[in-house]
Amino acid sequence: MDRPRLRPDPADNQNTRRPRPVAGVDEDDEPRRWGVGRVIAWILLAPWYAAMAAAAIGVDVLFVKDLLGF
């Protein structure tokens, strides 16, 4: 028994933009409210963001210091 030839799926271009709904059509255009989970996530992640920013600035300062020969 012969199997039918395999055909690839049609190409899916992920770079194409899907049309967005027109503003004003839906009455559900209210901004999202901050839930408890989002507030807790910000409280937990904000120190991490600050530490990463300080570390990045520190690396930049060390690079410039070494570049200028101080």
Residue 43 belongs to domain spanning: 35-70
| AA letter at 54 | A
Does any domain span residue 66? yes
Does any domain span residue 6? no
Mean pLDDT score, 45-58: 96
Tens digits of residue pLDDT in 56-69: 999 999 999 999 98
Tens digits of residue pLDDT in 7-40: 777 777 666 666 666 665 555 556 778 899 999 9
Does any domain span residue 44? yes
Residue 44 binned pLDDT confidence (cut-offs 50, 70, 90): very high
Q: What is the pTM (predicted TM-score) of this model?
A: 0.48
Q: How far apart are CA 17 and CA 61, in angstroms?
A: 41
Does any domain span residue 63? yes
The domain total for the chain is: 1
